[in-house]
Every structure is written in C-alpha cells, then in structure tokens.
Structure 1
C-alpha cells in the first residue's frame, strides 16, 4: 500500500501562494499593548453599529472581581467603560459584586442587562482560565485580545454552562475579535460550546480568532424552534480540531468568509431549520462534511463561492444528513448589507497563521491577498537533479518499519472521539495486537496521553489482523495546541519534527472499511 507522510502546519500550497503577499496584506494598529483597536466589521456594524466602551473611562483589572467592580462602579448600566485586563482570571479571583449599574455572579464574568462595554486584553495578556464570559440582555459589547480556555459544564469547576463565550436573551451588537477560545475535549469530558448564541441574539461578528480542541465550536439557536437569532459574521477565523458546530446555524443569516477550517471531524457549517449561509473564500482542509444540513430533516440553505476544499470527505445523503459536497453548489442567494474585502482562499491559511487569535498584536488583513498558482516543472522534462519520481523519497523512512527506541505509549493513557461497541481506547496502548479500538463510524479520533510532557517525533499505527488497509486518510495532531504534525493515508510509521506535548491525536478522516487500530505506538527522537 502506498502511504503519504507529510509534515506541515498549514497547507504547503497555501503557504507558497501567500508567501509573497502576506506581509503586504497585513495592517498593524498603532497600539498593540493596550486599549481597544480597530473598528467593528460584519453584521456588528449594522443596527446602529458596535463601539463598546469607546469614549468612556478606562479601568485596569487583574482579577474577575475587579472586572465586576469596573461594571458596578459606573454611573449607570449604559455608562461607557473600557476594561483593560491583564493576567489570569479564574474561580479563585472572581466574585459577585453588587451595585445599581451591574448584575454579577460568582465564578463567571457577567455582562447582564448592561451596554457600552469593552473588555480587552493588554500588557502580558489576559487568560480566562476555566471561567466563561456570559452576555445576557445586553448590547454594544466588544471583547478583544483575550484567551478563554477549558470552561466546563460538568465536573469541576463549572462555569457559564460550559460555554467559553455565551450570549442569550435579547442580545444585540457584539463584536468579538482576536480571541482564542479552546477546550480540551468534548461533551464527555465536560465541555460544551466555545461561542454560542441563543434566544434572540442578533448582529454579532466573530473575527480574527481561533476556536480549537473542542467537541463543539458554537451554535446559533438552541433548538429547531429557536429561530430568532442571526445576522452573524464569521471572518478570518481558524476553526481547528473540532467535532462539529463551526457553526450550527438554526434560522437567520450567517456570513462565513476567509476562514480556515482544519480537522473538522464530523460536520462543519451546519445550516438547518431554515437558516441561510453565505460561504465564500474559505479554506477547508483535512475535514469531513464541512457544509450542509446534518442531524435533522429541517433543512437550511447556502450560497457558495471561491472556497477551496483540500482533502475534504463527504458522507452520503440520507433522511437526516444533506451534505453540500462533493460538488458544493448554491441553494440560495444571500444579500450582504455591509462592505468587505475578500482575500483569495489560497492565502487564508498563511494569513491567519500570522494574525488570528489573542496575542497577535490585533493585526488584520487588508483583503488584498491574491494567491498565485505554484509553477511546476514541465512534467515531461524533470529536473535532472531530482530523484527518480517513481522511487520513494530517499530521505523518508520505510513506512513498513517501526521506529527505533522505546514505545512511550505503553503505560500511557488513551481516549478519543467515540468507540464502537466491544472496543476500547486502552486497547491501543496495551501492547496486545489481539485487541483494538474502532471508531463509532467510519472516521474518528484516538489519542495517547501522559501525565507529564513527552517529546515525540514518530508514531506507528498498527492495524488489527483482518483490517489491513482499512485506514484511509489521516492527520496527526498535537492535542495541546491543535497543530497538525503530519497528514497522509494508510497505517504504518509516521515521522515529524520532535514535538513536546502531553496528548497526541491520530485522527482518521477517511477509510476503506471499518478501521481497527490495534496499537498506537509513540517514539522519542
């Protein structure tokens, strides 16, 4: 069996295409250390616009309690305020504060029944650790340059119903920009959505941000009957290592452009219950069912244009799944009321690698990045210095030979995205070729994890007897960061640059039969 082993963090095609134009296509604000920068984009510019606390007092906060105090010390619930946050905000420093201009609670940042507020990370950065941001019955809110991580709805500690950022009940005009929202697993590990909107939330933009390592990216509408939400823009965001909901859109209108989707395991943009999605100039990579209506017979629609689908697999249509691919075509037309500039889809991975997420200086693209097709040598006249194209790369290891050294997986832990009946995650680290793990479908994730850091530069995937050749396409992911370490197809030995981590994922994105992984071996350099 021919196996492809490739080391990359983003598409090599996209990096090559964008290399000459990315620097010229970025805009750096005058100030990157403090205060809100830039202006709202997308649907957040409508309905009167979104300015947050612009023009108000600037207050510094290093604890969650101080954030609440800044809200409560205002003259009224609508008095503008910019809250500059630095340090780690967690359960130990976030308490309820009372006052006429606020309505706060312990163990969650509450923006409730208020307006005209900016929360912006500054200085050395702002991390909301296991603590969510809750926006309810509020308007004109800006959240910028912060990281929110590992918010749980079950287990301990819990916060904000498990949402990193959650909006509900008559929320209007919210701009969330240059944030990093991340979890460390799915619902079974206690996590919920990273960016959720429900119960009449409208005119929202999520821009220049990273959503990663979660079972659920985010939803718009809590049920098929909750169709009062919408007018949401997602642009220049990285959606990495998610099971689904990127986003789940029920009713309303969503505009998704210049986003990079990598490692979507089950479904991506899920337009359903009458929703209408405009999907343009996005880069979809190493993912499954990135657009369509899924898990319901109440269908939505989409308009598509300028997207790149790189190693995307599509399921078959049935009574509750209507994938847009393998040849996505528009099923509606969506008129956008605001102006915007589109980068070529081929530029998107390279551009976002420089600008997306917290701590990137709030840099933005100017929308002028044009991808260039790489120039290939004449296929009939190969470079005489190149190796024989019919021979394998002489520097690549033989994928049929296991790596040298000690198998670090023995004695380690294991988990995954789902398992077929009668199989176990632990079977891939027990050293027994007679036991195995299978996903609960044709694709899925199995992971090896350690209690402390391990440095890994190679893995060996061994299929159970009788299942040889069933593993199709795959990717290897640093679960801690979401970085893709390698992609390819078929089982065997896989090498990549030495990486220090505590959990490594083997994600099967395509199969030729039921995958059966007997051993997931890991090796140090």
Structure 2
C-alpha cells in the first residue's frame, strides 16, 4: 500500500514524497524482504558494539520516503523527529544542477580574482584578502548551504536498484546516532570556489571544501555497498592556475571530531586523491582520544592516491580490503598518525611494477601498527619490515596494542581481489 505525505514549507517548499509501506515480515530473518530494513549483523565491526546499528529499520509507514530529486531528499531528511525513518533514493539526484553561476555573489569575478592574487602581484608571504576574496568566500558559503544536507539519527538512506546516484552533494552525519547509508553512488562534490593560499607550501596551493560523506561526532554508523568516485570530474580534467592544479575536490569520506563505532564495509573508493581520513587534527585529543573506533573491511580502493585511510587516535581495524595501484601517481595507502592504533590484516595489494612495496605504509607520527597476513601481488609480504627497510627515515614500530574481535568473516587474502571485485560498491550483490 502506498500513500503520500505532504511536507510543510519549512521542509523544502511543500514537496510531496511517496511513502512506501514496510514489507510484511521485514524482521523475520537476517535478509529482510525490503533491503531498506536490513540491520548491521551482530559482531560486524565497531558499529555493532553496544546497542548495534539498525538505522531506520523499524520505521513506521508514515516515515518511509522515496525521493527522486535533490530537493525531495533534503525535505525527507528535514522531517522533524528522531523516530526511525527510511529514505529511498531512486535515479540520479543532482545537488548542483543549476551550475556554479547560481552560487556566485554579485560582483565576484574569477578572472579578477586571478589578477588580484597572481603571485607576481601578491607574492607568497601573506594569505589572500580583499574584495574578491570576500566575494569568493560569500559564493562558497552559498554553495555550502545548497549542497550539504544533515542525516538525522535513526535513519537509513539507501539507493534503490543498481543506479541510485547523488551528484555534487556533501552528506553530513553530524552529532547523531544510529545511521545506515547503503547502495549509493556518491560522486564527489566539485567545489566551485576553491581558495588560493600562497602560503601553502613553497609554491602555494588551491584548497577546496566538501567531502562526499562526513561522519562528525556521531556514533553507530554503518556505511555499506556504496561507490565513492570523482565521476565526470577526475583530477586529470581540472585546469591549472599559477602553475598549480585548481583542486576542486576534498575527501570522499571523513570520520572526525569524536565520531565513534563506525563500520565501513563493501564500498568502492575510486579515482581520488585524499580519500578517507579518520581524525582530522593532532590537536583534537580532547574529543578524539578513546574514540574514532572504525572497522574497514572488504572495501575496494582503486587508483586512490593517498589516505586509505590516514588515521589519528583511533583503534582502526582494516582487514580484507583490496588496494589497486595502477601507476606512479600513488603516494601511500595506510597513514599512521598521531596516537593511532591501526591493525591492518589480511589485505590484498595489487601494485604496478614501478610502485615500491614500502610505500604502502606512511609514517606521519610515531605510533605502533600491526600488519600481519597481508599479500602483495598474490604473495605474503611483511609490510612493516619492507617499509622500514626501504624507507629508513620513517621507521615504524610494531604492535598496535589491541586485538580486533568484531569480525563476522575473514577471507584468505588471495581470495580478496576476486571477492571484493565482484561484490564491493553500489548495485553489487549484498
């Protein structure tokens, strides 16, 4: 039985969303008839700890929404209350369909911006300021308001079918509990108004905002069977100004600022630079210490340059992931940061011949790391020993100091490439 729920003007222009009744017997077994009512299995990573993660599985029919536009999605997520809700995404939702010009503040002129802050004129000693920078910031604020959306507690956000896609948006899981995000292709937001920072490095750099998905100060979050990609706008397509790439991408997934108890499973992360960050500041110990507990398993990291993940503080369990490194643009996969306790076990790495194995690990700060049972190009390799031999300036210590127990299945690393290749990402078998 279907019916419609009309939203008020405060919930995005009185949109009408289709409400779908729950399937009969939805909780009768581990695979409910309606995938939107699936819950994280017991013992499946950190998000299964404590109360576990159910999202909107128990939603009443009046709180099950099917959306086909970006405006409808925003409206469905804005419906008041923290009672369970399910939001089903059908087709492609475009957060920036109107184009970048729709966000420009009156008087903003990119060509004038380039002229004003040309290093030949401005130099490299001071951060940019003045009218055009103020107008750029105002334009960026307008885009931020348009492309970011908050996901409430007790919500399941799920794609329907094989092609459910959200373009150019920043999903914000901020200060909430019990969220499930599944079966979506998330094309990275394209920042229309990157900021030039002449003081960033020796030659300056363009810095951008917006991650496809941010988990900020939230708990019990299950991110499963999604595809994260730069899609139609890979870094290779971006222009250069002042000799530097006009970087319009930030991260694909950030888990930061006291976020805790997160499971990231069976996702595909593709064709991106700074991909997945866990903990965003060495100085965030007051909020992050004892938190940022994250499990990453059976994910594909294909042609990502770095941060897969980069870790600060957290007890992070990364196992049975497949890392595909096709060329020399690669920087590293596993970043060991301040007070991190990363366990990386039984992962598979497929490296191009010119990529040194020692580059898989990156030492940002002194912290212990456990690396056991990993395979590189089909053979067992002691990642820590090879790293310390090939990069003696970045010696890493063994033993993260804890043993993960929240794992439902652990596959042999030789089987991981085929298994993950077949099942990871949106629209793949669950």
Aligned residues: 313
Q: Deviations over 1:344-398 (max 9, x none)?
A: 000000101110000013x2xxxxxxxxxxxxxxxxxxxxxxxxxxxxxxxxxxx
Structure 2 CA distance for partners of 1:346 and 1:337, relative to 1, 3 Å: closer
1:92 Cα deviation (Å)?
4.8
Structure 2 CA distance for partners of 1:166 and 1:346, relative to 1, 3 Å: same
- Kindly name which structure, 1 or 2, has the bigger radius of gyration based on alpha carbons: 1
Per the alignment, residue 234 of structure 1 pairs with 296
Structure 2 CA distance for partners of 1:105 and 1:117, relative to 1, 3 Å: farther
1:34 Cα deviation (Å)?
5.1
1:224 Cα deviation (Å)?
1.6
Distance in 2, matches of 1:344 and 1:49, equals 27
Secondary structure of the 2:90 match is strand
Distance in 1, matches of 2:369 and 2:46, equals 17
Secondary structure of the 2:77 match is helix
Per the alignment, residue 180 of structure 1 pairs with 227
Q: Is the 8 A contact 2:320 2:416 kept in 1?
A: yes
Per the alignment, residue 424 of structure 1 pairs with none
Distance in 1, matches of 2:246 and 2:419, equals 34
> Does residue 376 of structure 2 align to residue 309 of structure 1?
yes
Per the alignment, residue 222 of structure 1 pairs with 280
Q: Deviations over 1:189-229 (max 9, x none)?
A: 31111111111111111100100101111111112222404
Per the alignment, residue 332 of structure 2 pairs with 267
Structure 2 CA distance for partners of 1:92 and 1:249, relative to 1, 3 Å: closer
> Does residue 54 of structure 2 align to residue 84 of structure 1?
no
Structure 2 residue ranges without an equivalent (≥5): 1-29, 103-143, 195-207, 237-244
Distance in 1, matches of 2:392 and 2:373, equals 27
More helix by share: 2
Secondary structure of the 2:46 match is helix
> Does residue 150 of structure 2 align to residue 110 of structure 1?
yes
After alignment, is 242-251 or 280-289 more displaced?
Answer: 280-289
Secondary structure of the 1:193 match is coil
Q: Deviations over 1:314-353 (max 9, x none)?
A: 584355x34x6xxxx8433322242422100000001011
Distance in 2, matches of 1:194 and 1:68, equals 20
Q: Deviations over 1:39-89 (max 9, x none)?
A: 252101013211111111321111122122223334x1x111010111111
Corresponding residue to 2:70 among 56, 64, 77: 64
Q: Is the 8 A contact 1:154 1:162 kept in 2?
A: no
Secondary structure of the 1:345 match is coil
Q: Is the 8 A contact 2:319 2:344 kept in 1?
A: yes
Q: Deviations over 1:134-163 (max 9, x none)?
A: 11111111000000113234548xxx9321
Q: Is the 8 A contact 1:178 1:357 kept in 2?
A: yes
Distance in 2, matches of 1:307 and 1:290, equals 14
Distance in 1, matches of 2:359 and 2:52, equals 31
Secondary structure of the 1:54 match is coil
Distance in 2, matches of 1:124 and 1:358, equals 7
Q: TM-score, normalised by structure 1?
A: 0.55
Query: Where do residues 282-297 of structure 1 align in structure 2 (5 Å cutoff)?
Result: 282-286=347-351, 287-288=355-356, 289=358, 291-294=360-363, 296=364
Q: TM-score, normalised by structure 2?
A: 0.66
Secondary structure of the 2:293 match is strand
Structure 2 CA distance for partners of 1:188 and 1:252, relative to 1, 3 Å: same
Distance in 1, matches of 2:359 and 2:46, equals 23
Distance in 2, matches of 1:355 and 1:133, equals 24
Q: Deviations over 1:429-470 (max 9, x none)?
A: xxxxxxxxxxxxxxxxxxxxxxxxxxxxxxxxxxxxxxxxxx
Secondary structure of the 2:304 match is strand
Corresponding residue to 1:166 among 214, 223, 238: 214
1:93 Cα deviation (Å)?
6.7
Per the alignment, residue 411 of structure 2 pairs with 343
Distance in 1, matches of 2:72 and 2:270, equals 28
> Does residue 204 of structure 2 align to residue 139 of structure 1?
no
Distance in 1, matches of 2:215 and 2:155, equals 15
Secondary structure of the 1:125 match is coil
Per the alignment, residue 421 of structure 1 pairs with none
Per the alignment, residue 123 of structure 1 pairs with 161
The root-mean-square deviation of aligned C-alpha atoms, in Å, is 3.1
